[in-house]
Structure 1
Amino acid sequence: MSKIWKAYLRLLEKHPAKTQIIQTGILMSTGDIISQVGVEKRPVKEIDWKRNGKFSAFGFFLAGPAVRAWYNALDKIIGPLAKRAALKKMAADQLFFAPSFLTIFVSYMALTQGGGKQEIIQKLKKEYLQILTTNYKIWPAVQMVNFYFVPLQLRILVVQVISLFWNTYLAFVSNKE
């Protein structure tokens, strides 16, 4: 094991909530930067830092705490690692958490882009179904592996590694003109 990995595990053990929330914000920010530079082909000098700040704030203040609380609740309600438990957790995640979380994400993006109630409704009509459909193509398989094989304290990290690509996609879709 590398020194960095060991240091991360010590930090995770000592400060689990802070570590998971901070990594979520950092990786959401990174996903937006990848979207701006890699997908939208902006020069690095033209990165929209205000947009990036909004995206990372969502990770720090909404996504990080929400996902952490959700995973802890799933483990308490459904139980730890097991085939049947993993299937139940994935189903609950995709039937309840994903649709509501994505509604909050799209609404947040509309609000932070200066929109009001009408703009939120328009953005939901325009983007929500596309994002949710794409979610269902990726996340059920990821979550089955995550819930079946990964211990609770590392689940957010697994999700955030995959989310690096997912956040790049979300940043692109939510900021299309």
Structure 2
Amino acid sequence: MKSFLGNVFNKFIYTIKTKPLQRGMAMYSITYPSACFIQQYLNSQQEHIDYKRVAKFALFGPLVIAPGVRLWYKFVDKMFTSHSFHHILGKLALEQVIYAPIFYTVFYSGLTLMDGGSLSDATEEVKSKAFNTYCVGLTVWPFLQLFNYSHVSDKNRMPFMAFFGLMWTVYLSYTKYVLKGSSEIKALETKMSQKKVSKEPFERITLIPIMFMRLLKMRRRRLFWKIIEQNIKKKS
């Protein structure tokens, strides 16, 4: 019996060491439920841990997210074969344009369906939350993935992404189950305009894209008035 268990364990370790997909699935089977648990534990408004939700994350991470991540890495490695800086930038750009929107769509719609929601519920969830989460992700993932693509070996990319994605998945869990959608995001924006930002760390993170978009608007206005001033000077 001991020799049988020993052989099974050794085969498991060998598979984890030599096969990137299985290694990634093993990591995601730990990080996803852990992130869900941490988010619920940190939520001051929640009295009890929903272990069914934790179990859903334990299935969703390794069975849905991990294979998608592996397929993506294989795809970008075929598109950009060298390790030059230009090819790495190409991978980063492609990831934010193609992979990230697909990922957030799958995350919000998939978990909504697992919770028993309808297709219309899943669609509404994606519409109300995916874009704002995508904007927050732009402040995090390009920098992490720059290191991942340039310094991490192929077999360790998924574990790297899973490890550093732990706290990101905590935030995703918050946006999925605590933040109710665009109405609450607008409420947070109102708080910010009144300088009444909550002490909740997740709310502060959610404000990042709002602040970013405001800065862009300010820059556009300044550029607009600058162009007008230049035209007036030319006419005079």
TM-score after normalising by structure 1: 0.86
Asked if the contact 1:40/1:172 (under 8 Å) is kept, the reply is no
CA RMSD of aligned residues (A): 2.0
One-letter code of the match for 2:105? T
**Greater mean alpha carbon deviation, residues 123-132 or residues 161-170:** 123-132
* Residues 25-104 of structure 1 mapped to structure 2, 5 A cutoff: 25-40=29-44, 42=46, 46-104=48-106
Partner of 1:5: none
Q: CA deviation at 1:163?
A: 0.6
Question: Tell me, what secondary structure is at the counterpart of 2:139?
Answer: helix
Greater length-normalized contact order (CA 8 Å, ≥ 6 residues apart):
1
TM-superposition CA deviations, 1:48-79 (whole Å, max 9, x none) = 11111111211111111110121122112211
- Identity rate of aligned residues, in percent? 26
Rounded Cα–Cα distance in structure 1 between residues aligned with 2:19 and 2:145: 24
Unpaired segments ≥5 residues, structure 1: 1-8
Question: Tell me, what secondary structure is at the counterpart of 2:117?
Answer: coil
Q: CA deviation at 1:82?
A: 2.3
One-letter code of the match for 2:124? Q
TM-score after normalising by structure 2: 0.66
Asked if the contact 1:81/1:151 (under 8 Å) is kept, the reply is no
Rounded Cα–Cα distance in structure 1 between residues aligned with 2:24 and 2:171: 21
Q: 2:140 aligns with which of 138, 141, 147?
A: 138
Rounded Cα–Cα distance in structure 2 between residues aligned with 1:57 and 1:150: 26
Change (3 A) 1:23 1:55: same
**Greater mean alpha carbon deviation, residues 19-28 or residues 164-173:** 19-28
Partner of 2:128: 126
Unpaired segments ≥5 residues, structure 2: 1-12, 181-236
Question: Greater CA radius of gyration, 1 or 2?
Answer: 2
Q: CA deviation at 1:143?
A: 1.0
Work out the number of aligned pairs and report it. Answer: 168
